[in-house]
Amino acid sequence: MKKEKTRGQGRSPIAEKVAPARRQLDDCELQDLISRRAYELYQERGCEDGHECEDWLLAESEILREIEDSLAEPMKALPPSCSGSAEAKISRA
């Protein structure tokens, strides 16, 4: 029996949530993602109190970076000629 590849295999959960629809997250969804990641950081630290702001800010930066990266993926896949001038695009047509 063949193994089927799952869509987005190897991607982060954040990229999975954003990339398929290429849509904007609403404020509640974004806050939920940050909150979950901040809690993961708290657990990784051994549930040590007193680092709530650090955990939140780190989680926020990670989530926003992953969202930005997932939205930029299609642009990285374009050949360099696609970002050229309008004349170059017309001449190829």
Q: Tell me the per-residue pLDDT of 6-45, one tens digit each, with 9 for 90 and over.
A: 444 555 666 565 554 456 778 999 999 999 999 999 999 9
Phi-psi region of 8 (alpha: psi -120 to 50; beta: other; left: phi over 0): left
Q: pLDDT at position 63, please?
A: 95
> d(Cα 35, Cα 77) in Å, to the nearest integer?
31
52 has a pLDDT exceeding 90: yes
pLDDT recorded at residue 47: 96
Is 0.75 topped by the overall pTM?
A: no
Structure tokens that stand for 5 in this block: 């590849």
Alpha helices (H) in 3-51, listed in sequence order: 13-18, 27-44
Burial class (CB in 10 A: 0-12, 13-18, 19+), 47: exposed
